[in-house]
Structure 1
Amino acid sequence: MRRLATGLLILAALIFLATHLFTDLTGIWGFVARGSEAAMIGAIADWFAVTALFRHPLGLKIPHTAIIPRKKDVLGESLSTFVAVNFLKSHTVATKLRKARLTQRAGAWLAQEKNQQIVVTRAGQGLEYVLRRVDDDAVEGLTRNVLVPKLVDTHKAPVLGRLLQEIVQDGAHHRLVDLVVGEAYIWLSNNPRVIDEIVHQKAPDWVPGFVNDTVSNRLRREVLGWVGDVRDQPYHKARQALDRWMLELAENLKEDTSISERAEGVLDDLLRQEGVVHSVLEIWESLKRLLRGAVLDTDGEVHGRIRSMLDQFSERMVNDAEFAEQMNERIATMAGDLAESFGAEIASVISDTIAGWDAREASDRIELYVGKDLQYIRINGTVIGALVGLVIHAVTLLPWM
């Protein structure tokens, strides 16, 4: 386009020279000469105007030329402010996002199996990256220097009391009681000699052996029967007594009592043990192995469950109109609020990017982007100049001139 515009200028100059050298400038040649002359003037004037935007014409540092290189930072700031003020507004952004129906579109994308695999894979890669970046020494330092001292300084007994109260009220401890009582019954059944030895040790030496055997047999049957009743009866008095004792203990732990003080002391002593730090590290190592194994096993249960969840969620995003509308509204409102609050910072990427450009680079980029239209200005200037020259010459030939 630049060559075309320059070519028209050269053509106008050649016509101007030819008419002045080889014609008498009368008749039609006068129109040609004046048209070509005005075309040159228009072309040169517009060439100067276009060139002055981006550089000094002919390298001459004429005032008010090379405007963009000199004013690029100001232009960047102005453009950034213009975008922030006129586009990054809550109502503008929110309205656009509501029309975009992002939830339905995201759901349709997520419904495809290959896209679900992409999401799961990317999430797994992100988790793997986080696991690799977490240093075991940092975990140990955090546990030793932050978590343990913080727990020691914290009043733990009331929390423990509330937790124990919730456990008892919800009956969450019943399975543990069932397990302990059941194991105790099995152990006593498999080890009858234990009670026999206790009876023989406690009985006086003068008591006949058959009496000890009778007592131990009776005692064993009674103990096994009682443990069996506790095991089989959910509302056994022993179980109820245990519940009452645990609730009473929970109340004492929640209050400032001697029991809560002793519990605090025991917990503090336990937390200060070196084994606590080692236990945390062992748990962390186990957790890392578990997570890494789940992440790497693309055909494993974890990946399968996640893909199933994504499939269900995508179906709801597409087919549940009320849910999709709520999500769209939340996204639009949140994005609008963010644009309103941080519009200047978001738009500053424009001014920051332009400020980082070299002045010459910025000028070349802008010229390259709009250069075609700029060269049309030169072409139009050449054509309009020629037309104006023809009109002016025609006016000078009027009879009254």
Structure 2
Amino acid sequence: MRLLATGLLCLAAVIFLLTHLLTDLTGIWGFVARGSEAAMIGAIADWFAVTALFRHPLGLPIPHTAIIPRKKDALGASLSGFVAANFLKSHTVAPKILRAGVTKRAGEWLAQPGNQAVLVARAGQGLEYVLARVDDDSVEALTRKVLVPKLVDLHKAPVLGRLLREIVQDGAHRRLVDLVLGEAYTWLANNPQVIEGLVQQKTPEWVPSFIHGSVAGRLQREVLTWVADLHNDRDHKARQALDQWLLELADQLGEEGTSVAERAEVVLDELLQQEGVVHAVLDAWVSLRRLLRSAVVDTEGEVHVRIRQMLAGLAERATTDAEFQATVDARLATTAGDLVESFGDEFASVISDTIAGWDAKEASERIELYVGKDLQYIRINGTVIGALVGVVIHALTLVLPGV
């Protein structure tokens, strides 16, 4: 297109020269001469205008030329502000998200087993990447220098009291009590000699041995019966007394300054400062890392299977449940709208920062190439329109007397 525009200029120049050299400029040749002359003027003027946008014409530092290289940063900032003010707004982004049907489209993509496998594999790779870069020394240092000191400085008794109260009120401790009572019953039933030995120690030496056995057997049966009652009856008075004691203990732990709370703080601090705590955390981390890595490696393992099943269920709901789609799309639209309202200027700054990072000459060339043929059509149009105007002016000079 540059060659075409320049060729038209050269053609007009050739016609202009030929008409002046070979004709008397009368009749039709006058129109041709004036048209070619005006065409050259229009072509050169538009060439200057187009070139002045991107560089100095002929390399001459003429004022108000090479506009884009000189103003590229301001242009980038203006474009960035225009995009932020007119496009990155909640009322423009949110409706677009709603119309896009993101939830349904994501569900349709996720419904494909191959896509599920890809997603699980990518998540596993990401987890493996993280695990590979967290070494044992870092975990140990974090525990020793950060976690333990923070826990020591923290008032733990009130937290422990609230936790204990929640556990008792929810009845979460009952299974533990059942387990302890069940184990106690089994142990007492399998070790009758323990009670018999206690009886022998507490009775005088002159008491016959057969009485020891009788008393021990009766005592064992009574103890076993009592333990069984405790295990089977969750409303047993002893259990109620235990619950009440635990609630009172929780209240005392929650009250600052009580002897129980202060003693608990001392005991917990001493426990946390034990070297074994650091080793226990490190051992737990090593076990957890080994478990996670094995789950990541085994693509046919239970973890991968369960995740794929979960994704399949989510995909089915996203594609068939209209209410779910509407809810998720509305939340996505609201979130996207809030994000662009809060960070629209930062998002749009990508434009200004990118343009600012361009070399001035490079930026000029990129913009010129992007606009492309339209720039050269300006030159072509200038040549054609110039020729037509020249013809019209010449006609007016012939028609109007004294012109």
Q: TM-score range by the shorter chain?
A: over 0.9
Q: Does 1:186 align with 2:153?
A: no
Summarize deviations over 1:357-377 as a string: whole Å, max 9, x none: 101000100110112100001
Instruction: Please name the residue that 1:104 is paired with.
Output: 104
Q: Does 1:131 align with 2:135?
A: no
Please say which of residues 175-184 and 45-54 is displaced more in the overlay: 175-184
Superposed displacement of residue 338, structure 1: 2.4
Instruction: Please name the residue that 1:354 is paired with.
Output: 355
Take 1:225 and 1:332, find their aligned partners in 2: how far apart are those partners?
65
Instruction: Please name the residue that 1:400 is paired with.
Output: 401
C-alpha spacing 1:229/1:84, structure 2 compared with 1 (3 Å) = closer
Instruction: Please name the residue that 2:251 is paired with.
Output: 251
Instruction: Please name the residue that 2:391 is paired with.
Output: 390
Q: Secondary structure at the match of 1:61?
A: coil
Take 2:58 and 2:346, find their aligned partners in 1: how far apart are those partners?
40
C-alpha spacing 1:95/1:235, structure 2 compared with 1 (3 Å) = closer
Take 2:53 and 2:240, find their aligned partners in 1: how far apart are those partners?
92
Residue identity matched to 2:301: G
What are the residue-to-residue correspondences of 1:217-228 with 2, within 5 Å?
Answer: 217-228=217-228
Superposed displacement of residue 104, structure 1: 2.5
Residue identity matched to 1:143: T
Take 2:232 and 2:86, find their aligned partners in 1: how far apart are those partners?
76
Identity level (%): 74
C-alpha spacing 1:390/1:283, structure 2 compared with 1 (3 Å) = same
What are the residue-to-residue correspondences of 1:1-400 with 2, within 5 Å?
Answer: 1-255=1-255, 256-398=257-399, 400=401
Superposed displacement of residue 98, structure 1: 2.7
Residue identity matched to 2:396: V
Superposed displacement of residue 151, structure 1: 2.0
Take 2:81 and 2:341, find their aligned partners in 1: how far apart are those partners?
13
Q: Secondary structure at the match of 1:397?
A: helix
Take 2:96 and 2:162, find their aligned partners in 1: how far apart are those partners?
50
Q: Report the aligned-residue RMSD.
A: 2.2
Runs of 5+ in structure 2 lacking a partner? none
Take 1:130 and 1:380, find their aligned partners in 2: how far apart are those partners?
62
Summarize deviations over 1:197-241 as a string: whole Å, max 9, x none: 333344333333323233333333333333333334433343333
Summarize deviations over 1:295-343 as a string: whole Å, max 9, x none: 2322222222222222222333333333322332332233223222322
Residue identity matched to 2:305: G
C-alpha spacing 1:302/1:49, structure 2 compared with 1 (3 Å) = same
Superposed displacement of residue 3, structure 1: 0.8
How does the TM-score come out when normalised to structure 2?
Answer: 0.92
Please say which of residues 231-240 and 372-381 is displaced more in the overlay: 231-240
Please say which of residues 48-57 and 153-162 is displaced more in the overlay: 153-162
Residue identity matched to 1:24: D
Residue identity matched to 1:282: D
Residue identity matched to 1:248: E
Residue identity matched to 2:199: V
Residue identity matched to 1:364: E
Q: Secondary structure at the match of 2:195?
A: helix
Summarize deviations over 1:84-140 as a string: whole Å, max 9, x none: 222222222223323223222222222222222232222222222222333433322
C-alpha spacing 1:163/1:353, structure 2 compared with 1 (3 Å) = same
Take 1:340 and 1:192, find their aligned partners in 2: how far apart are those partners?
76
Take 2:101 and 2:66, find their aligned partners in 1: how far apart are those partners?
46
Take 2:187 and 2:327, find their aligned partners in 1: how far apart are those partners?
60
Superposed displacement of residue 399, structure 1: 6.6
C-alpha spacing 1:270/1:99, structure 2 compared with 1 (3 Å) = same
Q: Secondary structure at the match of 1:4?
A: helix
Superposed displacement of residue 378, structure 1: 0.7
Residue identity matched to 2:196: D
Q: Secondary structure at the match of 2:299?
A: coil
Take 1:88 and 1:235, find their aligned partners in 2: how far apart are those partners?
63
Take 1:306 and 1:176, find their aligned partners in 2: how far apart are those partners?
31
Take 2:285 and 2:28, find their aligned partners in 1: how far apart are those partners?
97
Residue identity matched to 1:66: A
C-alpha spacing 1:88/1:220, structure 2 compared with 1 (3 Å) = closer
- How many residues end up aligned between the 2 structures? 401
C-alpha spacing 1:214/1:84, structure 2 compared with 1 (3 Å) = closer
Take 1:283 and 1:44, find their aligned partners in 2: how far apart are those partners?
80
